[in-house]
Amino acid sequence: MAFVIFALQLVLYILLLPMYLLNFLGVWNWICKKWFPAFLSRFTVTYNRQMASKKRELFSNLQEFAGPAGKLSLLELGCGTGANFKFYPSECRVTCIDPNPNFEKYLIKSIAENRHLQFERFVVGVGENMHQVADGSMDVVVCTLVLCSVKSQEQILREVCRVLRPQ
């Protein structure tokens, strides 16, 4: 059994060698940042089709969190391609933050398809440090498929509490 595990590990190392080499040369991160938005733009179409009823249910009460003026300010953390936009309420003011600047062109396309929203801005940054977003400036923070892939969930949650409007 030990030999089988060793052989499988060896095969895995050989298969991953090009990735290690690209990382060593410093180009793997660049490739991922360029390739991932294109992949995600295709993946989210299928994902949204399968999750549409659940997302409608999850986002159905967002308007209840609107500020005193009745407008909802929403920050989407790890916005990706804007896959959640079609589930947000009308006239919602959306600010997006993502560490990958290559998502911006996909966000522009998504905003064009979701005219019911008021797009505020796209911020390149990480959830652990959202200094570009003012304290108490957001009514709602949405992050889907994000917290599983960050460095510090605790720091992100501290930042979320900071940017949320006090109740």
Q: Give the CA distances from residue 60 to residues 42, 87, 137, in Å, rounded to whole numbers and listed in that order.
A: 25, 8, 21
Q: What 8-state DSSP symbol labels residue 165?
A: P
Q: Which helix (H) or strand (E) holds 144?
A: none
123 pLDDT higher than 80? yes
Task: Give the separation between CA 117 and CA 104, rounded to whole angstroms.
Answer: 16
132 vs 41, more confident? 132
Copy the structure tokens of residue 18.
């090009």
The answer to whether the CB of 156 falls within 8 A of the CB of 147 is yes
**How does the average pLDDT of the chain come out, rounded?**
89
Q: Which helix (H) or strand (E) holds 31?
A: helix 28-59
Give the pTM. 0.80
The answer to whether the CB of 93 falls within 8 A of the CB of 73 is yes
15 pLDDT higher than 90? no
Q: Which is it for strands 93-98 and 73-77: parallel, antiparallel or unpaired?
A: parallel
Candidates 115, 107, 51; CA nearest to 76 is 107
17 pLDDT higher than 90? no
Residue 117, pLDDT score: 96
**Domains detected in the chain:** 28-163 (3.40.50.150)
- Cα pseudo-dihedral 38, 43, 44, 45, rounded to 10: 110
